[in-house]
Amino acid sequence: MHITFLNQFNYIIKLDDIILLWDQRLEYIQNQCLVNLSFDNQSHLDLYHNCIHAIGLAINSLQYLKDTKIDYQKNYNTTLTHRRLKSICKYELFNPFNFIIDHSSRDLAELYKNDLINLNQLLNICYYYNYQIDEYQYLLSRILFPTCIFDVIEDLTIDNINNDYSKQIYEAIKKYHNQIYKVKEYYNAIINLMNIRPINWINQS
């Protein structure tokens, strides 16, 4: 699908726009979502502690994206992607409300972080798409960005915490901890293959 719809929308991705969107989301999480959690609820307290850590990861992701912009000064071709890919069922893949115009790395990061493809499959797809070093870095920024934790805390805020989100919270926390492993796995693979900008703290955490 990415190849079929590549450059079909007369729209390019500017990293400045992505950086602004991620900055705004981070500000929303910090100023609107965290304050709505109830510390009398153990699942909310656990979510809060993990979200504080996730905010740090998001800040690092943003900085890496900013560094990539400085290094390469490039815009990126777009294709048809998905807002989220938590499974590869037909509904998830073909739901028109899940479609979004973006760079292919959006889908690849979702598939990888959600264990729908493994590292070798991810690297094979990147090779097939003829990714350049800056696109591997762009993908790394997306893998770093903790969407699973942020999604669930945003859902809580929108729902005004009227429902029990304990199951979703602990699923997101489990997925987030797995994401940390995924970041290290992908980073260590590509830094041995190409001259990407290093992130020294990854293997120290």
* Confidence at residue 7, expressed as pLDDT on a 0 to 100 scale: 60
Compute the C-alpha angle 24/190/135, nearest 5°.
45
Compute the C-alpha angle 153/157/163, nearest 5°.
90
pTM for the predicted model, two decimal places: 0.92
* Confidence at residue 103, expressed as pLDDT on a 0 to 100 scale: 93
pLDDT digits (tens, 9 = 90+) for 37-70: 988 999 999 999 999 999 999 999 999 999 999 9
Residue ranges of the chain with per-residue pLDDT less than 70: 1-8, 10, 160-162, 205
* Confidence at residue 129, expressed as pLDDT on a 0 to 100 scale: 94
* Confidence at residue 86, expressed as pLDDT on a 0 to 100 scale: 85
* Confidence at residue 62, expressed as pLDDT on a 0 to 100 scale: 97
* Confidence at residue 1, expressed as pLDDT on a 0 to 100 scale: 63
Residues 6+ apart with CB under 8 A from 65: 15, 18, 19, 22, 138, 141
